[in-house]
Structure 1
Amino acid sequence: MPEQAPPAGPRPPPDAGSRRRILAPLALAQFICSFAGSNMNVMINDISHDLGTTVQGVQVAITIFLLVMAALMIPGGKLSDILGRKRCFLAGLVVYGAGAVLSAVSPGLGVLILGNSILEGVGTALLIPPVYILTTLLFTDLTSRARAFGIVMAAGGVGAAAGPLIGGLITSAISWRAAFVFQALIVVLIIILSLTLEDPLPPDPGRHFDVPGAVLSAAGLALIVTGILAADNNLWLTAALLTTGALVLLRFLRRVNREERAGRDPLLSSDLFRNRTSNLGLITQNAQWLLLMGTSFTVAAFLQAVRGYDAIETGVIFTAATLGLLASSLAAERLATRASQRFLIMTGFVIAVAGIAVLIALVAGSAGPWAFAPGLLLIGLGLGVMLTPSVNVVQSAFPEQRQGEISGVSRSISNLGSSFGTAIAGTILVAGLSKNAYAAAMAVLAVVGLGGLAAAARLPRTPAPAAGRDAAGQGRPGDGPQR
């Protein structure tokens, strides 16, 4: 079907008050979804005792959440174009909130899986793509978009890094059920703040939704995530699942090409995979989230299993990374006016890898908890410097009509990075929780960081086209260069 034409003429930039109103619900949504992905780790024992299940049972619930979220992110991005960004965002919030309430009152593991794993997973897949689409569409120049993404990414990074601390405090002070009530209350707040949110593009309900393509993409991603998560138990099973998942995704890509040749609208446009700038940006996103979640898992496991710290003490030590990430993310607008996106991404990887080196060296020479602070601070600073420009580079590489699709792909790639980070660290650590295993896991993450640096170095200095351009690649008045 013909694509919706972009609105004629430039959109006036939002004023300061409007920007705060726009960003508040989007940033809070990213925060709560990132929080949900990390805070469950410190509640496993409490949940298993309260629900009369095993630790493995709760881990299954966490795994299913990751599978549902990863499998449905691409279809969720497509639905945002069909239903409308605001409508999809609100629907995702309602589904997520219902899942949080159901989890809070769950009498057993089955209801917890339905609420936390299924409903919260579906809700996340529906609401996260609109966060990135709306941020891209509502902030059209480089510096304002960098500031907006900086706030959104800071909220996500804080949710992921501080999730264990916040979850641990709530669980210790009240109960694990209160942590889900906390999520539900935040969702209610986001819905209230979102009522005045404006969708800059009208929905296109007549647009085709490729159901077989959605099934293939979801199945392929689910198999790959399952394979990644199985890495610390059975490497042969991992290899089989990854191979099968890759074959399913290959079939999905062949279907995309077949649908396009037939003149139909596939789930994803093949143009998404032909853009060199976007492809390199996606690689850096994958590496960044791998570093974030891999470091979080490795250091948390070492602190609790080897050093004997509890969840709250572990969360306090991670405050250094949270502060570093928050500080550099919130400086994204100022940094974007002084350096190119490519330079910022490269700098972020250099700082993060240096932080890993400092972390390994200081922890090896000291038994005190403060030995972790300098390295974690540097890792947080590095991640905050590069998370925003990486997202900006990818989103800005496509016109408005492709924002739903690229947002789904971008979030799926980031989720795969998070899963890889946990799996790589876990696979190494199962060999024996010792200083050597810890150092080996962190060294592997440093190598990944160097790989991300190499990909960032290949980014063009002036990527184009900007997201504000039309399908023919012609810029609208007011569109500036993307540096």
Structure 2
Amino acid sequence: MSVGMPSGATAERPSAAGASDASGAGRGANRWLALVVLSLAQLMVVLDSTIVNIALPTAQADLGFSNDARQWVVTGYALAFGSLLLLGGRLSDLLGRKRLFLVGVTGFAVASAVGGAADGFGLLLVARIAQGVFGALLAPAALSLVSVTFAHDAGERGRAFGIFGAVSGAGGAMGLLLGGILTQGVSWRWCLYVNLVIAVIALIGALLWLREGEWPARVRLDLAGTFTSVAGMVGLVYGLGNAAAKGWTAPSTLGPVIAGAVLMAVFVLVERRTAKPLLPLSVVLDRDRGASFVSIGLSGVGSFAVFLFVTYYLVDTLKFSPVQTGTAFLPMVGLLIVGAIVSGALLPRIGPRPLVPIGCLLSAIGMALFTGLGAHSSYATGVLPGLLVLGLGMGLIFGSAQNAATNRVHSQEAGVASAMVNTSQQIGGSIGTAVFSSLAATAVASYAKDHAGSAPKGQILADATLTGYHLVFWISAGVFLACGALTALLFRGGPLTVSDDVPPAAAH
């Protein structure tokens, strides 16, 4: 019996026939319609992480705000989303997953409409913060609904998480393309308005095909855990966000990071002593779930190098337009989808232990291929091979880790386990942003200083920039290799079994 499973719960995999009998033929079809709804909602949240970044320069010129203010449009969303994920996951367990899903989708859509109609920086910032708040309700509710919908058949669960993982991994790259198309072809405001289209479809589908399932007994919210987790996450995300622009030794970086780390340590102590904790530590201490959170977090650190520094290379060195840049990532998206679907098919047979490390190894190879990029490299021979290998690797990681992170978890803890998936990725991305941006800036400055006068200034700057990119790609490859080694040790061997603990819950 794994840590976190209730007494008497079985981890044996039910037969396919038993699963079919339990759900009924019609419900089996509707489960997949429910998955489409949940994947659409997840796509809306993931798209927003990159699509707004593409629109920001145009929005800044239109509304007339400063560069410092522009950064807050990104930071405000990240602070709200990252700090409230655990609370959102716990609320979905306590108040009902479908209810929180509907609230999250509706609120996210309204906030997007307000942001798209903003006539100044203040209203745009408020809308972005509101998007983060409702995204923190929506994301864990969606993932936990996938988990409880496909809780009783390992084969179906693997395929479902392969699809959901593909959407989660590919959404960022799709946001780059869609953001470029909408910003250039229509208006930056449509980078926010597009969420209304997705939200309406998701809401209609949710009302048709999602149901609440069995509600847990009502318990009081862990207020001490809520306060320390929210405050700790705010400190970490805010401090790491300042590191790239102001340096690691700046008070605005060190102060929040240290305070955030201390508060998160206090949070762990609080959770150990609380009868009904916000985050039951058994959720994290289970070997498979812990390994999943590690792989998602470290992949978030490593994959940041793709979406930022490869984008920089395409735009600044190869002179790609925003639409061309987004299109350039599509082959990676295709291989990511393939990798996620393959992981979904293989996970019930061989488990995550070989799949995630192999995905990490492929991702490391993809990153290493990027270190050969030069000032005159072509997309087809220089960029594309790395994107293809990396996409396949990331698909294996996301498809396997999201499944294992929410597998065999108590039904009343599915929401908070799902929230930990998103929290791990958010913290990983924040660390990657801070560390890689800082290292690249240092490498560029050092190269320019050491080679001053040896060539024309423009040539030195171009070479220095490539040196910074290469350093980031090598370190990212190392992060993926470390992730592969850790997960090979942490994951249990053998097929991934499912639990009878979670009642069928999501499809009519």
Question: Fold conserved (TM > 0.5)?
Answer: yes
Instruction: Give 1:170 shift.
Output: 0.5
Partners of 2:339 and 2:389 lie apart in 1 by: 10
Give the match for residue 270 of structure 2.
Answer: 255
C-alpha distance in 2 between matches for 1:135 and 1:241: 35
- In structure 2, what is the equivalent of residue 69 of structure 1? 81
Aligned equivalent of 2:302, options 291, 294, 297: 291
Residue 461 in structure 1 maps to residue 493 in structure 2: yes
Q: Secondary structure at the match of 2:274?
A: helix
**Structure 1 residue aligned with 2:259, among 244, 247, 252?**
244
Out of 99, 105, 118, the position equivalent to 1:87 is 99
2:185 to 164, 169, 173: 173
Please report the TM-score for the alignment, with normalisation by the length of structure 1: 0.90
The answer to whether the Cα contact below 8 Å between 1:320 and 1:374 also exists between their aligned partners in 2 is no
How far apart in 2 are the matches of 1:220 and 1:241? 9
| Match for residue 343 of structure 1 among 351, 354, 362 | 354
Query: Please, what TM-score do these two structures have when normalized by structure 2?
Result: 0.86
Q: Is the 8 A contact 2:317 2:375 kept in 1?
A: no
Work out which of the residue numbers 24, 31, 47 in structure 2 matches 1:35. 47
Identity of aligned residues (%): 25
In structure 2, the CA distance between the partners of 1:105 and 1:143, relative to structure 1 (3 Å rule), is same
Cα distance in 1 for partners of 2:211, 2:23 equals 14
Q: Match of 1:368?
A: 378
Q: Tell me the secondary structure at the aligned position of residue 235 of structure 1.
A: coil
* Corresponding residue to 1:451 among 471, 482, 498: 482
Residue-by-residue CA offset, 1:357-391 (whole Å, 9 max, x unaligned): 12222x23852222200101110110001211111
Does the 8 Å CA contact 2:154/2:498 hold for their aligned counterparts? no
CA gap of 1:464–1:254, structure 2 versus 1, over 3 A, is farther
Q: In 2, distance between residues paired with 1:360 and 1:151?
A: 31
Matched-pair contact (CA < 8 Å) for 1:137–1:468:
no
Structure 2: 5+ residue runs without aligned partners?
Answer: 1-5, 445-463, 504-508
Asked whether 1:218 is paired with 2:218, we answer no
**What is the distance in 2 between the residues matched to 1:374 and 1:17?**
38
**4+ runs of 1 displaced by more than 6 Å?**
none
Within 5 Å, which residues of 2 pair with 1:407-418?
407-418=418-429
Task: Map 1:414-429 to 2 at 5 A.
Answer: 414-429=425-440
CA contact (8 A) 1:223 1:241 kept: yes
Structure ID, larger Rg? 2
Q: What is the 5 A alignment of 1:301-320?
A: 301-320=312-331
Deviation at 1:13, TM superposition (A): 4.5
Aligned equivalent of 1:353? 364
| Deviation of 1:454 (Å) | 1.1
Superposed CA deviations along residues 116-157 of structure 1, whole A, max 9, x for unmatched, are 2x2111111111111111111111222211111111111122
8 Å contact 1:398–1:465 — kept in the other structure?
A: no
Deviation for aligned residue 1:88: 0.5
- 1:418 is displaced (CA, Å) by 1.8
Cα pair 1:46 1:176 within 8 Å, conserved? yes
1:247-299: per-residue Cα shift (whole Å, max 9, x none)? 00111122222223xxxx12121322332332222101111222222321111
Over 3 Å counting, the alpha-carbon distance change for 1:35 and 1:464 in structure 2 is closer
Amino acid in the other structure paired with 2:95: L
Please identify, of 311-320 and 436-445, the stretch whose mean Cα deviation from structure 2 is larger: 311-320
Counterparts of 2:393 and 2:174 in 1: how far apart (Å)?
A: 17
Q: Which moved more, 1:158-167 or 1:68-77?
A: 158-167
**Structure 1 contact 294–424 (Cα < 8 Å) conserved:** no
Q: In the superposition, relative to structure 1, how do residues 241 and 385 fare at CA in structure 2: closer, same or farther (>3 Å)?
A: same
Q: Contact 1:42/1:164 (CA < 8 Å) preserved in 2?
A: yes
- Structure 1 CA distance, aligned partners of 2:200 and 2:206? 10
Q: 2:247 aligns with which of 213, 218, 234?
A: 234
- CA contact under 8 A between 2:42 and 2:142: conserved in structure 1? yes
Q: Secondary structure at the match of 1:309?
A: coil
CA 1:221/1:296 → structure 2, altered by over 3 Å: closer, same or farther? same
Contact 1:297 1:425 in 2 (8 A): no
Select between 457-466 and 137-146 the one with higher mean Cα deviation: 457-466
Moved more, 460-469 or 120-129: 460-469
- Pick aligned residue for 2:163 from 151, 163, 186: 151
> What SS does the corresponding residue of 1:196 show, helix, strand or coil?
helix
Residues 463 and 259 of structure 1, relative CA distance in 2, 3 Å threshold: farther
